[in-house]
A and B are shown apart, each in its own frame.
Chain A
Amino acid sequence: MRQYDRVFVVVERELRTLVRSRMAVAVALAFFAVVVGLGGASMGSPGGYVSLTYDLLLPVELLVPVVAFAYVYRSVRGDDERGELDVIRTYDVSRLDYVLGVFVGRSLFLVVVVLVSLGVAGVVASLGAESTVTFFATHTAGDTPLVYARFVLFATAYALVAAAVALSVSAATRTKREALAASIAALVVLAVGLDLSLVTLVSMDVVNADGIAVFNGLSPASAFRGLVLEVAIRPALADSPSVATAAPAVSAIGLLGWLVAGLGSATLAVWPDTSQ
């Protein structure tokens, strides 16, 4: 059996777990209702997709990590508390196989929830548009579906990063209660803590105001926000702001770094390496 076969076996188990979980379905429906509801509120807005993207930016920034943690924080911890982690270790399954399987399986469900919710919100918002938008964005002006498509793409990447961090929390904690507490703490840190730290550093002149755009990329939430503002929305604005809110390259690298760090720490923490 090849390594990826074992990964897929774990992926299938995780997917089945979430599909059959009433909690997972309830969380998906709640997220869908909020996002599509906001999309409905934007129906017919003269701002079109730019307006919709602005409307959804903050809710998605806050809710996507909550949904990701809800789907992931009990994954490894539950297997450990039931003794299944010890049982799985007696098979030819490496720590990386298991962590990748859990991540891909849980993330697939999460990504579908995010894509469907944002997709339906986009369709709903466009239903009231006075004229069909048929042109692509350029650097001069224009509201196009491409603005929203980029937003959805970045939201998906942000969801994957949140899932990776949630997985590392699940792997590093020892009880479900500990995992829940650590997840809440991680959510607060990711959603507001890192941004507040940056503001504090700026106010103390530790970080130059000109460097905010770069430092924004180091926090997942602000990296996501920066990518949306700079790469999705800015090209569609007729009058672009003179000051960049984020450095897109740093933001992309920042998100990738959090993803790798989350999965890497989860792999190291999921069980001790006893092969010597």
Chain B
Amino acid sequence: MSDSEDSDAPAALTATDASFGYPGVTILDAASVELQAGDLTALVGPNGSGKTTVLELFAGLRALDAGTVTRPPASDRAVAYLPQRPGFRSGFDAREALGFYADLVDADVDPDALLARVGLGEFADRRVEALSGGMVRLLGIAQALVGDPPVVALDEPTSGLDPDLADHIFDVAEDIVADDRVVLLTSHDLAAIEARADRVLLLSGGEFVLDGAPDSVLDATGAETLRQAFSVAVTGESRAAVGQPAPTGGDD
């Protein structure tokens, strides 16, 4: 396999015949996909399907067993990554925590400007251990913007957050997509994805079994909501029809 950052590559992230698995578990089975800049792409799938692993593969944190991942050219960073439960060293305030990452790139980065962009401007002096879980996610997203990476991978940025904060994080995600970036996020918040995402990838059994704009996915499955489409694609029946709650959590 090979991961590459070809300087002639288009402003897109491309996986070609990508395969990866753990012993007894297939995460990707010769899967191919191209993620376009300017799209907010949501990667959904049942717990254990490997969404986090796919994000790590696309971010270059893991090596594929076979196939290639091609990332857009970048001067400082090709890919930014926000882990599912981001954390920062205690004893540092938000500005200092972000300043560490800002110092790792060639470009002059103003931590205060990035904090303001994600809505943390007034919390720059607050110690990271005193930030709420949602604020830490926002600080993580601000970190993801350091070095102006063309690809941003966010692992369940809204899990466990109240609806307003989750909406704010989707607002921020839409804002950074507008910079002509590839933004790929995982989430179980299917209602928000249906309303906000430009494209949905449903990962199941090592394949992207659904791929398209939310409306296209609904048309293809005959479902009325993305929640129903999810169940139809994953289990073959609509669990929403019997009032079962959508899956939550992020244990993969």
Report whether A91 and B77 are in contact in the complex, using a CB–CB cutoff of 8 Å. yes
The A121-158 residues at the B interface (CB cut-off 8 A) are none
Q: What is the chain A residue whose CB lies nearest that of B128?
A: A82
* Any A CB within 8 A of the CB of B240: no
**Shortest Cβ distance from A204 into chain B, in angstroms?**
42
Q: 1/0 per position for B80-91, CB-CB distance to A under 8 A?
A: 111111111101
Choose the segment among A16-24, A58-66, A229-237 that binds chain B (4+ C-beta atoms closer than 8 Å): A16-24
Report whether A91 and B56 are in contact in the complex, using a CB–CB cutoff of 8 Å. no
B101: A residues at CB distance < 8 A: 87, 91
Choose the segment among A47-55, A179-187, A211-219, A268-276 that binds chain B (4+ C-beta atoms closer than 8 Å): A268-276
CB within 8 Å for A274 and B61 given contacts A21-B91, A83-B84, A92-B77: yes
Q: What is the chain A residue whose CB lies nearest that of B136?
A: A82
- Expressed in whole angstroms, the Cα–Cα distance for A272 and B3 within the complex equals 14
CB within 8 Å for A91 and B91 given contacts A86-B56, A274-B62: no
Report whether B63 and A274 are in contact in the complex, using a CB–CB cutoff of 8 Å. yes
CB within 8 Å for A16 and B86 given contacts A90-B81, A274-B62: no
CB within 8 Å for A275 and B76 given contacts A16-B92, A84-B89: no
- Expressed in whole angstroms, the Cα–Cα distance for A78 and B129 within the complex equals 14
- Residue among A6, A20, A274 with the most chain B CB within 10 A? A274
Q: 1/0 per position for B175-208, CB-CB distance to A under 8 A?
A: 0000000000000000000000000000000000
Q: 1/0 per position for A84-114, CB-CB distance to B under 8 A?
A: 1011111111000000000000000000000
Selected contact of B104 from candidates A78, A86, A92, CB within 8 Å: A92
A6: B residues at CB distance < 8 A: 104
Report whether B104 and A9 are in contact in the complex, using a CB–CB cutoff of 8 Å. yes
Selected contact of A91 from candidates B2, B62, B87, B147, CB within 8 Å: B147
B143: A residues at CB distance < 8 A: 87
* Any A CB within 8 A of the CB of B131: no
Report whether B89 and A86 are in contact in the complex, using a CB–CB cutoff of 8 Å. no
Report whether A92 and B80 are in contact in the complex, using a CB–CB cutoff of 8 Å. no
**Shortest Cβ distance from A12 into chain B, in angstroms?**
8
* Any A CB within 8 A of the CB of B60: yes
Query: Looking at chain B, what size class is its interface with the partner chain?
Result: 35 or more
* Any A CB within 8 A of the CB of B103: yes
CB within 8 Å for A86 and B81 given contacts A20-B91, A274-B63, A276-B2: yes
- Residue among B56, B80, B91, B147 with the most chain A CB within 10 A? B91
- Residue among B61, B80, B86 with the most chain A CB within 10 A? B61
**Shortest Cβ distance from A175 into chain B, in angstroms?**
14
Report whether A78 and B63 are in contact in the complex, using a CB–CB cutoff of 8 Å. no
The A217-260 residues at the B interface (CB cut-off 8 A) are none
B100: A residues at CB distance < 8 A: 9, 13
* Any A CB within 8 A of the CB of B1: yes
Report whether A83 and B3 are in contact in the complex, using a CB–CB cutoff of 8 Å. no
The B40-95 residues at the A interface (CB cut-off 8 A) are 56, 59-63, 76-89, 91-92
Across the A-B interface, the 8 shortest Cβ-Cβ residue pairs: A82-B87, A83-B83, A20-B91, A274-B63, A9-B103, A91-B104, A1-B106, A90-B81
Other A-B pairs beyond A86-B56, A90-B59, A90-B79, 10, CB < 8 Å? A17-B89, A20-B91, A83-B87, A84-B88, A90-B61, A90-B77, A90-B80, A274-B61, A274-B62, A274-B63
23 A-B pairs within 8 Å (CB atoms) are namely: A1-B105, A1-B106, A6-B104, A13-B89, A16-B92, A17-B91, A21-B91, A78-B89, A83-B85, A83-B87, A86-B56, A86-B59, A87-B82, A87-B83, A87-B86, A89-B61, A90-B81, A91-B147, A92-B76, A92-B105, A93-B104, A275-B3, A276-B3
